[in-house]
Structures are given as structure tokens and as C-alpha cells.
Amino acid sequence: MPNLDQIDRRLLAELQAEGRITNVELAQRVGLTAPPCLRRVRALEEEGVIKGYHAELDALMLGYAITVFALVSLKSQAEDSLRQFEEHMRDLPEVRECHMLNGEIDFILKIVSKDLQSFQEFLTSKLTPAPNVASVKTSLTIRTSKKLPGVPLEGA
Amino acid sequence: MPNLDQIDRRLLAELQAEGRITNVELAQRVGLTAPPCLRRVRALEEEGVIKGYHAELDALMLGYAITVFALVSLKSQAEDSLRQFEEHMRDLPEVRECHMLNGEIDFILKIVSKDLQSFQEFLTSKLTPAPNVASVKTSLTIRTSKKLPGVPLEGA
DNA sequence: GGTGAAAGTTTTTCTCT
DNA sequence: AGAGAAAAACTTTCACC
């Protein structure tokens, strides 16, 4: 497990908020010079604390107008059945996130589609008829009020 | 609204997957030289198609063991009440995402906490007693099966 | 573990097509 | 709009503290 000090946490907070900040700028913000700062970042990448970097895109501008959350219950909760469902979700590009939950609902999915029509098409031809699916309850996103990456790290 | 050609879409797909790729590498991948590639990326940033870049962190390694989805219903769905609730969610660092939904559930929240205890604390002292909250149903994430950034852009 | 300078890339600008 | 060359900035390594 990684031993993270206060500086590491601040590096991570900065990079989570601004992933393409230059190393010099990053070093200044946390009070280091460039070389040790870069060494720390590389180490955090190696250890897997930093799993990657991603551009955040405007879905609507790219023609993806629909975000839906789907609450899925399966007929069988045997580990094999769960794995099979997860495999299936991995193959569907509209499914951006799939989380296994406790309680009555087995999975929650975040689904992104171009429009209502393509979402309905996806729902009825891909998701609902998937093996072992008992019920699917979907809710359309009216608006996204808040969307922050990752973890709090506020008092980092 | 932005006029995106095939090259722009490929740039975006690459940057969504690998946000810290160098401009030279990006240019090679989409079949351009560096200067026009950089100009396109800058334009996409200006237009707001690219909203930012973020490091993806390992929550568990940082001591955040709990991810919870909360389904929240409000007493009043008047626009003022909705706005007030959204404001409130913005002030809570544990709440990473807040989406307003159609149907019986008014909001879905993604909440990240260090452990069960601090989550319970958050739930009973911050979320449930918030103004106008009628009901909160929470589900713990057992495991995250899939987590991709943003939008499909597969056939980009 | 941090500093400072030097070497190697990359970003960025400019000019031309 | 895109290409090639040049300038500026950044990343990365090395020797030293």
C-alpha cells in the first residue's frame, strides 16, 4: 500500500482538478521544484494511485443528449450470473458505468445515448433481453447539478 | 454549435481515453502534423467541447473505501425547492455527482466516503436532515464493474 | 528527499503552400 | 486548413547536497 504524505495528497488533488497542468506549475503549487515533483507523480502512476488521465467532454455538443440511470435486478445472484452480466455490460458502449450494489437492486448503470429513440432501441434490444435480467427501471436525467471527478481530497 | 469533422472526433476519442498524450503523438494517431493538431485541440477547448482534463485516482488507495448511490425524493418539486437542494449538494464534498431525474425519484447522488462510519455520519447528519428531503434510499457499491469516461464516440 | 544545471522533447509561433 | 522550420517552454536526467 502506498505511503502518501501531505504533498502527495496535494499533488493528487491538483491533478484530479486539472489533469494537464504542467509539471513546473504543479511543483510551484505544492511548493517543490520540478524534478522531485515529477518523481512523485511518476511514482504515483507506477503504484496505480493515478490510474490515468482523461479529457472531460461536453456530451451535448457531441450529440449525446440523453443520460439515463438504470436500476437492474437479476433473476440469479450466483457469482457466475453476476460475472456474466458484468461481461455483457462491458461489451455495450452506451453503458459508461456499471456498479454492483447491495440490497434489492443488483446493478446500477449509467447509460449515454444520442437521443430518446436510440436509447429506447438500446433498452429494448440490448439491455432488457440480456440473459438473467429480471427487471430494469430507468430514469432519465433532467439535468446534472454536480459532477466532480473521483474522490473528495478536500482537506488534502 | 461546433462543426466537428471526423478528425475532431478522433482527437476527442483519443483525449478522452488518454488525456495526457503529447500533441505530437496525438497528431500521429489522427494523421496530422503537430501544429494543425494543436490548433484543433485549442479550438475544441475554447468552444467548450473539451471542458477539462482530470487525473483518475484509485479511491481505495486514498482511503475512500465506500461508494454509495442515494435515491432522493423531495417533499416539494417546485423549481425553488429543486434549486435549493442542488445548492446544498454542491456544498457537500462527499457528494461527487448529483443528477436530477424524472419519475418518482427526484435526484440520484453518487457519494464517496472513507468508511461506513463516516458515511453513516454523513447520511444522518447531512443528507437526511437537509431541507425538503422526503426520503433517501441508499445502496452501497459492492464493486464497480465498468467505469468509462464521458461519451461513447466508438465509431468516431 | 530536495536542489540546480544541462540535455532532450515538446509546445508554440511564424511563414509558406 | 495543413506543412515545415525556428523559438520558447517544459520534461527529464544527472551530479550534488
Which nucleotide is at minimal CA–C1' distance from B31? D2
**Does at least one atom of strand C sit less than 7 Å from the CB of B135?**
no
pLDDT band of residue A156 (cuts 50, 70, 90) is low
* Cβ neighbours of residue B96 closer than 8 Å, sequence gap 6 or more: A146, A147, A148, A149, A150, A151, A152, B110, B111, B112
pLDDT band of residue B2 (cuts 50, 70, 90) is confident
Which candidate, B43, B47, B44, places its Cα nearest to that of B13? B44
Chain B residue nearest residue A108, CA to CA:
B69
Q: How far apart are the first and last CA of chain B?
A: 18
Residues B58-80 have a mean pLDDT of 97
Please state, as a whole number, how many other Cβ atoms lie within 10 Å of the Cβ of residue B58: 17
Gap from B43 CA to D7 C1', Å: 23
Gap from B119 CA to C7 C1', Å: 51
Contact B148, A89 (CB under 8 A): no
pLDDT digits (tens, 9 = 90+) for B21-49: 999 999 999 999 999 999 999 999 999 99
Nearest CA distance, A50 vs chain B (angstrom): 5
Distances (CA, A) of A57 to A36, A52, A88, B47, B153: 31, 16, 25, 11, 11
Residues 38-97 of B with CB under 7 A from strand D: 39-40
Residues A37-50 have a mean pLDDT of 95
- Does the beta-carbon distance from B150 to A54 stay under 8 Å? yes
Residue B3 has a pLDDT of 87
User: Which bases along strand D come within 7 Å of a protein CB atom?
Assistant: 1-5, 9-15
Gap from A43 CA to D5 C1', Å: 36
Contact A135, A86 (CB under 8 A): no
Place of cell 457531441: A62
Residues of A in contact with B107 (CB under 8 A): 145
Domains of chain A with bracketed CATH: 6-47 (1.10.10.10), 60-140 (3.30.70.920)
pTM over 0.85: yes
Look up residue A78 and give its DSSP letter. S
Rounded to 5 degrees, φ, ψ at B65 are -90, -15
Residues 11-70 of B with CB under 7 A from strand C: 22-25, 34-35, 38-39
- Does the beta-carbon distance from B145 to A50 stay under 8 Å? no
pLDDT digits (tens, 9 = 90+) for B96-147: 999 999 999 999 999 999 999 999 999 999 999 999 999 999 999 999 999 9
Which candidate, A77, B126, A12, A153, places its Cα nearest to that of B109? B126
d(CA B27, CA B38): 8
pLDDT band of residue A155 (cuts 50, 70, 90) is low
Q: Is the predicted pLDDT of residue B89 greater than 70, yes or no?
A: yes
Q: Is the predicted pLDDT of residue B55 greater than 80, yes or no?
A: yes
Rounded to 5 degrees, φ, ψ at A75 are -75, -40
Radius of gyration of chain A from its Cα atoms, rounded to whole angstroms:
20
pLDDT digits (tens, 9 = 90+) for A102-129: 999 999 999 999 999 999 999 999 999 9
Contact A86, A101 (CB under 8 A): no
Distance of CA A29 to the CA centre of its chain: 27
Place of cell 468552444: B47
Which of B139, B144, B154 to probe by mutation at the A interface, max A CB count within 10 Å? B139
Look up residue A31 and give its DSSP letter. T
